[in-house]
Amino acid sequence: MQASDKPSTQYSDEATLYAERAIAAFQQNDLSQSIQFMQKAALASPLNALYQRNLGELLRRSGQLDAAITAHKNAIAIEPESAENHYHLAIALNDKHYYEEAITHYRIALSHDLNHGLAWNNLGAVLECIGGMPAAKAAYSTAIKINPLHAEAQNNLGVVHSNEGTLDEACICFEAAIAAQPNFPEAHYNLSLLKTYTKDDPHLALLNTMAKNDHQLSENARIHYYFALAKVLDDVGEYKRAFQCYAEGNRLKYAQEPWNSLPLERMIEQIPLVFTPSFLKKPRKAKGSRHPIFIVGMPRSGSTLIEQILSSHGEIYGVGETNILDEVLNKARSEAPHIPFSDWASQLSDDSLMALGESYLERTWALAPDKRIIVDKTLSNCFYIGMIYRMFPECKIIHAVRDPMDSCLSCFTHLFKQSMPFSYDQEALAKYYIAYAEIMQHWHSVLPKGLIVDLPYERMVADHEAETKKLLDYIGVAWDPNCLNFYNNNRLVKTASLAQVRKPIYQSSVKRWEHFSDGLQTLANRLAPYRSLELS
């Protein structure tokens, strides 16, 4: 929010007084009072664009996005050639997920001020959000060219490099962000994911120094800080202190977004009542040659490794984690939103199932029309397997399996970019794992044998070549030696495993949970029945 620094006929004494009170209230963190005073200032000086813009920003910060957009448009109507007016409108539009409009107004802002580094950076963020990676990189790079000390732009460009697998370039960007702004925990965290640390690494010393003032950080910054420090301590073998940091980061994150397990528990109760052997006995005959592969399972169970291996094959394309199936099913259910999913699914005819399948296939194959096989690695599709089988009788389903203690620990030690609220609390993690394990047991009991292939992570890392050959035989494609060099595949990877899949197979993550066994008793007790004798 900006204060006026120049006299104008557009500023009445009354309006100036209200604006000053609004700023004072804002500085006291009284957002509601600040909005009230700024509204009065805007009414007292209706042709003052600054008051409209400040009002819009205050409304945006309070979550009143429609009102914020209106205020910013009022500011533009008064001063249409102001870069700041278009820039702030674009921020509000982005918050509302009106991405194309946001891009338009960022570009208008830049047409009035090509050196507006914040606009270049934010434009990059919106472009990245809609998948325009080359344009996003160019926007971030321009922001950095304008100001090499633009820490956020350096960090954002580093994230793009990380996803693309150019990890050296990513590290340079994150280090530049930290050099420009040492108290930037998000950059510290992103850097920590890409390195394997030794005790003499100067980054560890810097993080230890930051611990003295961690109370001065915002809550989100503290979360990133604790996960970053924990990762570094984990690498150097200080497991007790590392777990304390992981636990604190998780505690703060879970307090922000506690997980409600009831919807999932209700689904787990309903699914076996509908997806019975008789319901699944006679699927419709498959048509066409497009038969998708689904990788399902618990997060952090080796699914990204499997997808990276498969997508290194010349005939296979991996789309990563996608909402396409969810969106297709939700659109079809929109006419009966209050009917439970299982009841709705039980009423679908073969023709309806075929139409749903075709809708999914059209959207998915549009991403790689030249590929014969496409892999969908949306892990939560494990709850839809019965539906998937009815929609795609010839599909292949690969179930990524891992020792539940290692899988859950890996969730607990990662700060996910997507919403994963169950991962930040041991009891919640256990509940989610049990729900997942029980539904997978159900699918194995009611679906044809061989439809679902269980692929343990431990087996894959122990004998990569043999397991890959079995996997390709199951899918029905010829051997491709590129699958052994999956780490050279430069496809975009956005999951928490983005650094791991750029390396050859390694086994150091097997039984990793034992380093932290003293702190994982809740998980160990709850998951004991779900651990195989081989892994116990």
pLDDT the model gives residue 222? 94
What pLDDT band is residue 115 in, cutting at 50, 70 and 90?
very high
Tokens of 216: 């001065």
**Whole-Å CA distances, 338 to 334, 335, 357:** 9, 9, 23
Mean pLDDT in residue range 201-210? 91
pLDDT the model gives residue 372? 86
In the sheet where 396-401 sits, what is the strand order? 316-318, 373-376, 293-297, 396-401, 452-456
Looking up tokens 């560890």 gives 204
Mean pLDDT in residue range 482-496? 64
132, 134, 140, 143 alpha-carbon torsion, rounded to 10°: -110
pLDDT above 60 (res 494): no
pLDDT above 60 (res 491): no
C-alpha to C-alpha distance for 362 and 367, rounded to whole angstroms: 9
C-alpha to C-alpha distance for 343 and 329, rounded to whole angstroms: 13
| Alpha-helical segments (H) within 62-150 | 65-78, 83-95, 99-112, 117-129, 133-146
- The DSSP code for 181 is -
Tokens of 381: 């599709």
- CA-closest candidate to residue 227, choices 209, 205, 206, 251: 251
pLDDT above 90 (res 510): no
* pLDDT tens per residue, range 20-37: 999 999 999 999 999 999
Mean pLDDT in residue range 319-343? 85
If one compares 144 and 327, the residue with the highest pLDDT of the two is: 144
pLDDT the model gives residue 502? 45
Q: Are 90 and 97 a contacting pair, CB within 8 Å?
A: no
Q: Catalogue all structural domains in the chain, each as residue range(s) with its CATH number.
A: 291-530 (3.40.50.300)
The three-state secondary structure class of 456 is strand
Mean pLDDT of the chain: 89
Which residues lie closer than 8 Å to 126 by C-beta, 6 or more apart? 90, 94, 99, 102, 103, 106
Q: Are 48 and 42 a contacting pair, CB within 8 Å?
A: yes
- CA-closest candidate to residue 402, choices 393, 411, 414, 415: 411
Mean pLDDT in residue range 169-181? 96
If one compares 341 and 83, the residue with the highest pLDDT of the two is: 83
174-188 b/e (C-beta count within 10 Å ≥ 16 → b):
bebbbebbeebbbbb
pLDDT the model gives residue 534? 39
Tokens of 379: 């892990």
What pLDDT band is residue 489 in, cutting at 50, 70 and 90?
low
pLDDT the model gives residue 371? 87
Burial class (CB in 10 A: 0-12, 13-18, 19+), 172: middle
pLDDT above 70 (res 438): yes
- The DSSP code for 463 is S
Most confident of 208-212, 251-255, 461-465: 251-255
pLDDT above 70 (res 64): yes
pLDDT the model gives residue 285? 66
Mean pLDDT in residue range 256-269? 93
Among the residue ranges 96-105, 171-180, 235-244, 416-425, the one predicted with the least confidence is 416-425
C-alpha to C-alpha distance for 228 and 186, rounded to whole angstroms: 8
C-alpha to C-alpha distance for 123 and 118, rounded to whole angstroms: 8
pLDDT the model gives residue 504? 55
pLDDT the model gives residue 488? 64
pLDDT the model gives residue 498? 52
Q: How many CA atoms lie within 13 A of 461 on its CB side?
A: 21
pLDDT above 90 (res 439): yes
pLDDT the model gives residue 282? 64
